[in-house]
A and B are shown apart, each in its own frame.
Chain A
Amino acid sequence: MKGLLTLILSSALTAPAFAAAPNANAPKGGNFVFNLGGEPPTVHPITATDAYSRYVQNYVCDGMATRDSETYDWKPRLAEKWEISKDNKVFTFHLRKDAVFHDGTPVTADDVKFSFDAIFEPKYEAAHLRPYYEGLTKAEVIDAHTIRFTARDLYFNNFESAATLTVIPKKIYSDIEKSKKMNRQLVCAGPYVLSKFDRGQVITLKKFDKWYGNKDAAYAGMYNFDTITMRFYKDENVELERAKKGELDYLDLRVEAFMKKTEGAPWGKTIIKHKVENSAPKSYGFIGWNFRKELFQDRSVRVALAHLLNREEMNKKFRYGMSDLANGAIYLRSEYNPGNKALEFNPKKAQELLAKAGWTDKDKNGVLEKEVNGKRTEFKFTLIYPSKDTEKYYTMYREDLKKAGIDMELKYLEWNSFLKLVDEGNFDAVTMAWGGGSVDPDPKQIWHSASAVAGGSNFIAYKNPEVDKLIDEARVEPNKAKRVAALKKVYAKIAEDAPYAFLFNDKYAFYANSSRMGMPAETFKYEIGRDYWWLKAQ
């Protein structure tokens, strides 16, 4: 019976709670206006690094394949089909013959090869892109519409690197001097053309009438707007006022804005708020303990510190109870999550663990102490953080630590100064947040001991040979089910080691849209799904 229950529960976790489908008969036309949140310094496909430019490129540029918003399966884009060799190291893509770039020239295997090679050509100044593609050794043109990538090793994400490579026209971007000046122009093969980029004002996209997908049933109900206008408002108040005036059709909301700043008309009338749950991985915040410091090398101490973090109260006070308490280094609803219990606020248990580790307040001065290397040491450390917004959380934490006899000092640092200390490993405890990452995660960057180098993401220097071994095995495992099993073990072990005190996972995505919008569903499984929206007839 217990086995059955587990089975039902796990299938409930993995089966989609909803299945949204695009509306194939969605009306076409209209102008969709939304706030990008900031201005991309450049939209150049090779040199741009920021998130804003990526947003623009998502509409304007195409790769060979993309993920389905509902199933997360690979869907053809510029490639109509592909083959993966048995040893999982060679990927052959067959390009569609009706794909053209925005200048009208056809997309060929030559362009794909050029797009790949340009990343490794020093003149293009794309050193920052190289780490993403280093798993691939070469791209070979087989014929005008066939391209073959060879991978260096068996890494499971190699296919993704090749499939999502932004394809740009060789004819235009091969002239380096000309290409260098194209910071506000973008020539690709995507469904929209970048028609205007006014610094400080606006980016306008226009539907590309020669896009191959316009006539293909596979894209019916997608990209319904004639034009898309992107604004660059940074200030939340301005954004909300603009939306109230009807000047925005979509805006992301923070939980505070959702709960506090959007009450009364016109909210709910001309502008509709949404609180949606989907399976897209959400970020988590953490307090990381520096393993280089003697103080944090004892697991009992780390677990005790996690037990002193009153997340329930913080969630209630500062997050309107809208967050989940993270149970480890992977999104709570991810199929990779081992389902272990999150560490609860429990000062009594913490006290026991600390006592077990030898920390007691013998001199009754209110601070715990212990003999370390023959020297009496008090339990004191400093927490560094780069964002003032989060100070309230740690002030609360400091009070609870104080009651338990631990003296924590808070130290705010400007981002670059903060990062310098983090990179050098020169800190006691650190707080930050990791983004949700991929649906199919690779923990190597953060948790492998090989990443515990200067400038590496394993800046707390967490080292567990067993975790290393499992990660190494999982990375070369092409079978997803086996990879899930291996990584579940990894995440379970990490949670057990408590290298971070994990904070929260966002449970919902909050957004608002104008009542002009038509949508097949409030959300898709792995994204909001704005590519399927349309403008209602007025």
Chain B
Amino acid sequence: MIVYLIRRLLLMIPTFFGITVVTFVLINLAPGSPIEQKLQAIRFGAAGGGGGGGGGGGINTRGDTSVNEEVIEALKKQYGFDKPLHVRYFIWLKNLTRLDFGESFTYQEPVIDVIKSKFPVSLQFGIASLILTYLVCIPLGVRKAIKAGAAFDRITTILLNLTYSIPPLVLGIFLIVVFAGKLNMFPIGGIQSDDYESLTSMGKLWDRVHHFVLPLICYMIGGFTELSVLMRNSMLDVIKSDFVRTARAKGLSENIVIFKHALRNALIPIATGLGGFFGAFLAGSLIIEQMFNLDGIGLLGYQSVLSRDYNVIMGLTFISSLLLMFGRVFSDIIYVLIDPRIDFK
């Protein structure tokens, strides 16, 4: 196992290079560099591309804005684009050894500070939805398996399929309009009230929970169905296996059969997903964050791609690929812990 782990960890090095080189080259090849973003800002004001006749890029109001070579050269130097691509990659790598991800072109702050400022929001939602999903889906899946084919199983399957097919965007608008708007039961968005600072500790907790409910539902809706169905099917497989039949034949109570013998085995496929726990640190969804006005990683990633904020994109790629790779190794370890028969050699 130890040898296997070392091998896996060593394999992470070329994988890491692969991911970062491909990302670096891709974003640099895509049209529109940070310099072009600045030039656009000069030419079109700040707005993006419009059309029709409504909105659209507003021209600046100060007349002639032909941009001369000198300005373009200055911008290139400002952003370090006066050097060739491979040199820039090596500079990025070199800085990485000092954990320096460079500066965000958009925010004009160190990338690490920008990510740090968005991170808590995504982390809170990531962890909350992960825990809640497991807490609900495991018992639900088990019950569905025990009652396989019965009314409970069929009705919940229909419900789960229904929720699975609702796009988070539609669900979000529905929740906002009905529960936050019409019924006025929840706040429309944000993570806390304006008077948050003046609340008591309990008041703060309640305020957070209150703000969390609607976006959390959107976050969980998809994974919810997947995990419940996975749990159900895995449990069904185990229930049908020989050792469960033997346990039953020995006269053990149904509860002991299910929860002591079957459940542990049925959890194996579910455990694979636990590696995704690391992903929860960067769980961000563009749509949900935008809708509920949450300032998280999802929105940051999306905006960085749109505005070609190379350093932020690379920073996020680096952190997420690292988390993903460690998540995989973590899953393998859990595998072994749950099922001693598994041995990676």
Contacts and interface: CB of A to CB of B under 8 A. Distances in A.
Given A183-B107, A455-B67, A161 B55 contact: no
Interface residues of B, number: 67
Contacts of B30: 416-417
Contact of A285 (B51, B67, B117, B292): B51
A431 B51 CA distance: 6
B39 A285 contact: no
**How big is the A interface, by class?**
35 or more
A255 B75 CA distance: 39
Interface string A430-460: 0111111110001011100011010111000
B40 A419 contact: yes
A42 B108 contact: yes
Interface string B172-211: 0100110011001000111000100000000000000000
Nearest to A244: B181
Given A132-B62, A238-B188, A435 B45 contact: yes
15 contacts: A39-B295, A51-B47, A125-B78, A234-B293, A235-B290, A285-B50, A385-B51, A417-B31, A420-B32, A432-B57, A433-B51, A434-B59, A435-B45, A475-B64, A506-B54
B93 interface: no
Contact of A232 (B107, B121, B293, B308): B293
Interface in A245-271: 245, 247, 254-255
A39 to B, nearest CB: 8
A234 B290 contact: yes
Interface in B98-117: 104, 106-109, 117
A237 B290 contact: no
A242 B54 CA distance: 24
A433 B52 contact: yes
Given A200-B118, A419-B31, A44 B108 contact: yes
Interface stretch (A17-25, A210-218, A387-395): A387-395
B52 A504 contact: yes
B251 interface: no
A352 interface: no
Contacts of A505: 53
Nearest to A44: B108
Contacts of A16: none
Interface string A21-59: 000000000000000000101101001011110100000
Contacts of B78: 122, 125, 127
Contact of A283 (B55, B190, B292): B55
Interface string A312-338: 000000110001001000000000000
A436 B172 CA distance: 35
B233 to A, nearest CB: 37
A81 interface: no
A166 B67 CA distance: 21
B345 to A, nearest CB: 48
A133 B257 CA distance: 81
A379 interface: no
Nearest to B192: A201
A157 interface: yes
B15 to A, nearest CB: 29
B53 A245 contact: no
9 pairs of A and B residues whose beta carbons are closest in the complex: A200-B295, A435-B58, A433-B56, A416-B32, A504-B53, A285-B53, A386-B49, A390-B51, A420-B31
Contacts of A122: 74, 77-78
B253 interface: no
Nearest to A385: B51
B42 interface: yes
Interface string B151-191: 00000000000000000000001001100110010001110
A199 interface: yes
A241 interface: yes
Contacts of A238: 176, 188-189, 291-293
A180 interface: yes
B127 interface: no
A445 B32 contact: no
Interface string B285-318: 0000011111110000000001010000000000
Contacts of B43: 445, 455, 457
B109 A433 contact: no
Interface string B223-245: 00000000000000000000000
Contacts of A254: 54
B65 to A, nearest CB: 5
B54 A283 contact: yes
A437 B31 contact: no
B229 to A, nearest CB: 31
B188 A450 contact: no
A300 to B, nearest CB: 25
Contacts of A237: 173, 176-177, 291
Contacts of B36: 416, 419
Which residue of B51, B75, B118 has the most chain A CB atoms within 10 A of its CB atom? B51
B143 interface: no
Which residue of A49, A319, A419, A444 has the most chain B CB atoms within 10 A of its CB atom? A419
B294 A200 contact: yes
Contacts of A244: 181
Contact of B58 (A42, A386, A417, A437): A437
Contacts of B150: none
B46 interface: yes
B51 A432 contact: yes
A49 B46 contact: yes
A155 interface: yes
Contacts of A202: 194
Nearest to A451: B66
B294 A245 contact: no
Contacts of B104: 41
A241 B177 contact: yes
Nearest to B60: A132
B39 A233 contact: no
Interface string B15-31: 00000000000000011
A131 interface: yes
A418 interface: yes
A120 B211 CA distance: 47
